[in-house]
Amino acid sequence: MINLLDFDLEALTTLFVERDEKPFRARQTLRWVHRRLVDRVEAMTDLARPTREGLVRDAEIRAPSIVRDTSASDGTRKWLLDVGGANAIETVYIPEDDRGTLCVSSQAGCALDCAFCSTGKQGFNRNLSAGEIIGQLWLANRMLLADGAKAPWVEQGRHPITNVVMMGMGEPLANFDNVVTALRIMLDDNAYGLSRRRVTVSTSGLVPAMDRLREACPVALAVSLHAPDDALRDRLVPINRKYPLKRLLAACLRYIERAPRDFVTFEYVMLDRVNDAPEQAQALVQLVRDVPCKFNLIPFNPFPNTEFRTSPWRRIVAFQGILQDAGLTATVRKTRGEDIDAACGQLAGRVQDRTRRKTHRLHAVAAH
C-alpha cells in the first residue's frame, strides 16, 4: 500500500503521471490530505471517480498510531507514537500567545551520542520515513482541531500549529532525504503553507548536510553549540571530532546567506560546572564574534544515571548577562510541560524505556 503521507508535491505528481493521471491531481490530493486533513481516500470527493477508485485500491493515509496522549497544566501536550518494532517517538505541542509550536522527531533514537542527551544514550534504532515525520504534524493538527483548539489564528481558518521545530528525538540532518521531503510538505501552499522562518531544523553540526540543506530547503537553522572550545565540545558533542568548531562556524556563515533569517540560533545546554563558567561565556563571545547569531540557553534536563547537573539559576543568569553585555541576544528557554516531562532533547528516552517494558509485559502476557 502506498502511504500518501510519504509524498511531497513533486513525488506525488510523478506518481500520478505514472498512473496515467493528470498531474494536477497531485495538488488536489495534497490539499485533501494536509489542508483538510482527511484520513481516508474515500473522503476526497472532488477527485474524478476513476482516480479515486484507483487510489482507494492502492493508497492510504497512514500516520503513526497514538500510544499515549498527555496534557500538562500549562497547555503543553505530548503524544507518544508507535512507529513499530517496539520503537516509540514523541511529539510535543507548545501553545503560546501568538503561535502554536510543534516539536517533531526525525529518528527513533540517535547515533550521535551527545553526553548530556538521553535520546543519544538510547542508541540509534532507525530513521523515520517522510510519512512518519509529516504524520506528526498531520496528527497533531487533527487532534487539536477535533478537541476544539482555541486560538485567534485557528478562528481565521488556519491550522492550530503555526511553527515547527525539528527538536524532538534524533538528528534531522542524519535523515536528510526524508526530513527534506517532510519540510517541503510543511512549506507547500497546497499543504501546511508554513513560511521558512516558522520551520526550524536543529542540528548538532553535520557540516556537509548543513550545506546540502542550504541548497535543498533553507529553513531557519538552530545549531547545538554547547561548548566554547573544541576540547570540551569533543567531549559533549562527539560529532565535533569530525566537524570541529572552525568548520562548523564557517558552515553557519554559508548557511546564513540563504537562510530566511539573517542569523543562526545557537543552542547551549547549561551544565553545572562543565560549560557554565563566566570565562566560558567570554570565550563564547570571542568564538562567535563573526557570526550573526542569537543564543538560546537551555537549562539541562536531568535523566536517570546522568553525570550532569543543571546549572543553578544564578549561574545561568550570570552567563546570559555576559553574552548580553557583549551585545548578543541571549534568552533562557522556559521549561514547559514540566509535569508531563515534555522538555525537548530528552523526550522519548524515558517513555521509550517504559514502552519497551510495556511491550515486554505484553509479550509475557501473550506467552501465557
Q: Which positions touch ligand SF4 (CB under 6 A)?
A: 110, 112-114, 117, 119-120, 170-171, 204, 224, 345
Answer yes or no: are the C-beta atoms of 301 and 339 closer than 8 Å.
no
300 near ligand SAH, rule: CB under 6 A: yes
Residue 293 annotated to the active site: no
Q: Which does 298 bind (CB under 5 to 8 A by kind): ligand SAH, ligand SF4, none?
A: ligand SAH
29, 129, 202, 265: residue in contact with ligand SAH (rule CB under 6 A): 202
Assigned C-alpha cell, 343: 522538555
Return d(Cα 213, Cα 255) in angstroms, integer: 8
**Residue 313 amino acid letter:** W
Nearest C-alpha neighbor of 269 from the set 308, 325, 230: 308
Only one of the segments 10-18, 50-58, 201-209, 227-235 lies at the binding site for ligand SAH (rule: CB under 6 A); that segment is 201-209
DSSP secondary structure letter of residue 175: G
The values of phi and psi at residue 103, to 5°, are: -95, 115
Q: Find which of ligand SF4, ligand SAH, none residue 144 binds, CB within 5 to 8 Å per kind.
A: none
Nearest Cα to 168, choosing from 220, 128, 141, 138?
Answer: 128
Minimum CB–partner distance for residue 333 and ligand SF4 (Å): 14
Q: Give the one entry of ligand SAH, ligand SF4, none that residue 113 binds, where binding means its C-beta sits below a cut-off of 5 to 8 angstroms depending on kind.
A: ligand SF4
Q: Per-residue b/e over 217-248, b at no fewer than 16 CB within 10 Å?
A: bbbbbbbbbbbbeeebbbbbbbbbeebbbeeb
Residue 55 and residue 4: Cα distance in Å, rounded?
10
Q: Considering CB distances under 5 to 8 angstroms, the limit depending on partner class, which of ligand SF4, ligand SAH, none binds residue 284?
A: none
CB of 51 or CB of 224, closer to ligand SF4: 224
Active-site annotation holds for 90: yes
Q: How far is the CB of 191 from ligand SF4 (least distance, A)?
A: 26
Q: Does 346 bind ligand SAH (CB under 6 A)?
A: yes
Shortest Cβ 66–ligand SAH spacing (Å): 21
Which residue matches cell numbers 553549540? 225
Least spacing, CB of residue 51 vs ligand SF4, in Å: 41
Q: Are 42 and 29 in contact (CB under 8 A)?
A: no
Q: Which of 76, 200, 204, 320 is close enough to bind ligand SAH by CB under 6 A?
A: 204
Q: Is 109 in the site for ligand SAH (CB under 6 A)?
A: no
Q: How far is the CB of 252 from ligand SF4 (least distance, A)?
A: 16
Instruction: Please tell me whether residue 298 binds ligand SAH under the rule CB under 6 A.
Output: yes
Closest residue to ligand SF4, judged by C-beta, is 120
Q: Which residue has the cell 529553513?
A: 219
**Nearest CA-CA partner of 334 in 316, 309, 315, 307:** 316
Report what 268 binds from ligand SF4, ligand SAH, none; CB cut-off 5-8 Å by kind: none
Comparison of 174 and 249: residue with beta carbon closer to ligand SF4: 174
Q: What is the DSSP letter of 32?
A: I
| Catalytic choice (10, 60, 90, 155) | 90
Per the CB < 8 A criterion, the answer to whether 182 and 217 are in contact is no
Q: Which residue number, 269 or 284, has a Cβ lying nearer to ligand SF4?
A: 269
Handedness of CA 45, 50, 52, 56 (dihedral sign): positive
Using CA atoms, how far residue 284 sits from 82, 115, 223, in Å, is: 40, 20, 14
Cβ-based neighbours of 11, under 8 Å, separated by 6 or more: 181
Shortest gap between Cβ of 359 and ligand SAH (angstroms)? Answer: 24
Residue 69: its H or E element: strand 65-71
The minimum distance between CB 69 and ligand SF4, in angstroms, equals 23
192's contact among ligand SAH, ligand SF4, none, with CB below 5 to 8 A by partner kind, is none
In the list 87, 301, 352, 355, the residue contacting ligand SAH (rule: CB under 6 A) is 301
Length of the chain in residues, anyone?
368
Instruction: Write phi, then psi, for 199 (nearest 5 degrees).
Output: -120, 125
Active-site residues, by number, are 90, 344
Q: Would you tell me which residues interact with ligand SAH (CB under 6 A)?
A: 114, 116-118, 167, 171, 202-204, 224, 267, 269, 298, 300-301, 344-346
